[in-house]
Amino acid sequence: MTILRLAIPSPLRRLFDYHPPAGIETDQLTVGVRVRVPFGRRELIGILVELPSESDFDSSKLKSATEILDSTPPLPLHLLKLARWAASYYQHPEGDALQQALPVLLRKGHPCEYQHEFLWKASEEASLSQLKANASRQKELLQLLIEHPSGISTDAIKAEGGQISALSILEEKGLAESFQRQHKQSSQEALHEAGLTLNAEQKSCLEQVNQSPGFAIHLLEGITGSGKTEVYLQAIEKVLLEGKQALLLVPEIGLTPQTVSRFRQRFNMPVVALHSNMSDRQRLDAWLQAREGVARIIIGTRSAIFTPLHKPGIIIIDEEHDPSFKQQDGFRYSARDLAVMRARDEKTPILLGSATPSLETLHNAIEGRYHWSKLTQRAGNSAPPEFRLLDIRQEKLQDGLSGLLINEIKEHLESGTQVLIFLNRRGFAPTLTCHDCGWIADCTRCDAHMTLHQRPPHLHCHHCDKQSGIPHHCPECNSDQLQPVGVGTERSEQALQQLFPKFPVIRVDRDSTQRKNAMHEIMTQVHTGEPCILVGTQMLAKGHHFPKVTLVAIINADAGLFSADFRGMERTAQLILQVAGRAGRADHPGKVWMQTYHADHPTLQTLIEHGYSAFAQEELHHRKISQLPPFSHYALLRAETPHKGRAEAFLGALRQQLEEDMLLPHDVSWIGPFPSPMEKRAGMHRAQLMIYAQNRKSLHQLLANLCWYLEQNREARKVRWSIDVDPTDTF
Ligand code: ADP
Ligand code: ZN
Ligand code: ZN
């Protein structure tokens, strides 16, 4: 007897046993295939993970599966194993984790078959004279085929205005024929354009990567504009010449059409993108092309880490410190950390690139676990920017801008260059207040203020998305003296436009770029090189090159300096340097001005006077003293309920219970429970318990026990709980 043991998408942390469907022989079953099964009153699709010969349950009570969907598993075995490992490491139900490793259409049961691309061409003897004079459509189509002797796809025919329906008529007449596209494998043709001549630092990094034939981890630490991408391109070139594929992961905000087109421009080989803005069908196609080996370069965001490759050659993680590589809900995996595991399984090199590496990665490099290359010079001729901390303690600000800064902006614009103003708050103002009684527009569902927006006018909670109209009178005292507090991008845009009416002011934030093509239009305008002011959020900080920007102004460099999160300082430093990196990229030297109330803050001083490495060293020192990651491992147990105080009480009781019932591994400690930094969010009251250990094994042993315990626990059903392993955000 054979039992199908399946991972099924359900919140239960267990596998489910079924009998094979009637008429299916054991030798037709392979681990990894999708299986359709009855589940409660529904039908679900599970993944076959084991084929035991008997069940732990009464086998006469087991149901039979309905259908086996695949003859070969969609995910190759080693990726299935990786996803299963990740489910157990991140304490997530296996069925759901495995689903997330597949494209949406495969989760829904769509066939997992690569559609070969067919091309059409005219037959050898075909000529227009063989068609009747009045068959104009057929003639046009045949003409099109004759103009494309190496073949043209149906999509391209449509794009050229050709009639697809006429193809079969031409084929019947022996005038046209179709054939399968042959993908270029020959090595001479890998490049469209030659690579740049590398400088000494780039060369030594590339040699380092190329030297290691099998698995090796490389950190490429290079300041913005130092030519990291050029190193990626040339490392990929070698891989392509060996007939292999490259997987490049980039941050969510970084996957712009410019990124993809830079790779398409260089390589004469299929490049596919995988990101959330594609349709499910497009994603499946790209995924299948990668699995089939047709796509040679795969550029994707976090979830692309599970994309199967026919011949894996290298994995590259750009901006490896970026928080978007860690999923923040549900299956809370880190794509960067999984990428390292994957590269080890596939015996390929992995390259982690960043101007501001995460302290975890730096620590690994310092300890000698990673090869470490540095690019310290900007490529080409551009000089590094000059930093200045602008003490605004005594200053009267005009819409958030100091007089000195306004003068500086003016100078740059008048000398014909561009200015970038960075402000990490969208909307008009962070909130609205009553001048008479001090009332503040707070969100009723969160411990947060409502943001005032003017285009269109409304109040908006950026945490739960609640929206409401702007009151004309104070709800407390009925006064009409309601005033915006603080500055957001909309207000800054308005103020700058009034100060500099002759120059365009372009706002770049989530609101201003929602329209399709909006970002493209903005970039086109900026690239004309005409003087202008760019005002925007983090969206401006990543991936884009602004060669004509000579002044970057950070309106509030202090945000994050005193954060409750121990990573606050690291994040602030990374963001500042990332924004600063936009300045003076081409032959225009750049200036970075930072407004601050803490100009003598030692960390800010270290950062701008001695750079990121010096900052990181100090920060690592503090982490070591406090035994914080990377010097310890930790997880957060979070709980939330609609009732105030209940989440904290639940965690408190749990902790007590566990200490009485369970033998805590001696090196595991707890801190908390304490209320989350934002205690109420979207109507839920939240608390957390921090669990940490010197030793990963002890931590994971405890977490596994904890999950088991919570699943049995009645009280736990009254709260919503989750475990976040290696959390990067305290919520
Ligand atoms: P990063 O990825 O580190 O920000 P890029 O690879 O985008 O840097 O390089 C920044 C700029 O310098 C680009 O315009 C790139 O074409 C140019 N560049 C990179 N390497 C070289 C080189 N070896 N010689 C000349 N220009 C280079
Ligand atoms: Zn009032
Ligand atoms: Zn809210």
Strand intervals (E) in 287-403:
297-300, 312-318, 349-354, 371-375, 386-391
Ligand 1, atom 10, residue with closest C-alpha:
225
Are residues 593 and 408 in contact, defined by beta-carbon separation less than 8 angstroms? yes
Residue showing tokens 């596994």 = 704
Q: Which residue has the higher pLDDT, 127 or 332?
A: 332
pLDDT at residue 188 is higher than 70: no
How far apart (Å, rounded) are the C-alpha atoms in residues 287 and 267?
Answer: 19
Ligand 1 pocket test target in 230, 236, 248, 319 with most atoms within 8 Å of CB:
230
pLDDT tens for 595-629 read 999 999 999 999 999 999 999 999 999 999 999 99
Q: Which residues, in sequence order, are bridge partners of residue 152?
A: 120
**Does ligand 1 come within 6 angstroms of the Cβ of 377?**
no
The environment of the single-atom ion ligand 3, i.e. residues with CB closer than 5 A, is 443, 445-446, 461, 463-464, 466
DSSP letter at 471? P
**Atom from ligand 1 closest to the CA of residue 318:** 2
pLDDT tens for 441-492 read 999 999 999 999 998 999 999 999 999 999 999 999 999 999 999 999 999 9
Are residues 259 and 543 in contact, defined by beta-carbon separation less than 8 angstroms? yes
Look at 109-118, 134-143, 387-396, 638-647 and tell me which has the smallest mean pLDDT.
109-118
**Does ligand 1 come within 6 angstroms of the Cβ of 175?**
no
Q: Which residues contact 673 (CB under 8 A, 6 or more apart)?
A: 639, 647, 648, 651, 652, 655, 687, 688, 689
**Does ligand 1 come within 6 angstroms of the Cβ of 229?**
yes
Output the CATH code of domain 633-725: 3.30.70.600
pLDDT tens for 110-148 read 999 887 777 888 988 888 888 888 888 899 899 989 888
Query: Band of the pLDDT at 12, cuts 50, 70, 90?
Result: confident
How far apart (Å, rounded) are the C-alpha atoms in residues 178 and 122?
Answer: 9
Q: Which residues contact 243 (CB under 8 A, 6 or more apart)?
A: 185, 187, 311
pLDDT at residue 186 is higher than 60: no
51: helix, strand or coil: coil
Class of domain 200-375: alpha beta
**Atom from ligand 1 closest to the CA of residue 197:** 23
Most confident of 75-84, 189-198, 253-262, 704-713: 75-84
How far apart (Å, rounded) are the C-alpha atoms in residues 205 and 246?
Answer: 18
CA of 194 to the centre of ligand 1 (A): 14
CA of 447 to the centre of ligand 3 (A): 7
**Does ligand 1 come within 6 angstroms of the Cβ of 285?**
no
Q: What share of the chain is helix, strand, coil (3-state, %, to 5)?
A: 35, 25, 40
Which ligand sits closest to the CA of 482?
2
**Atom from ligand 1 closest to the CA of residue 355:** 3
Ligand 1, atom 11, residue with closest C-alpha:
225
CA of 202 to the centre of ligand 1 (A): 10
**Does ligand 1 come within 6 angstroms of the Cβ of 379?**
yes
**Does ligand 1 come within 6 angstroms of the Cβ of 254?**
no
Q: What is the mean pLDDT of the chain?
A: 91
pLDDT at residue 685 is higher than 60: yes
Could you check whether the bond before residue 673 is cis, i.e. omega within 30 degrees of 0?
yes
Domain 4-107 indexed as CATH 3.40.1440.60: yes
| pLDDT number for residue 80 | 97
**Does ligand 1 come within 6 angstroms of the Cβ of 703?**
no
The separation between the first and the last C-alpha atoms of the chain, rounded to the nearest angstrom, is 49
**CATH of range 386-429+486-621; options 3.40.50.300, 3.30.1330.200, 3.60.21.10, 3.30.910.20:** 3.40.50.300
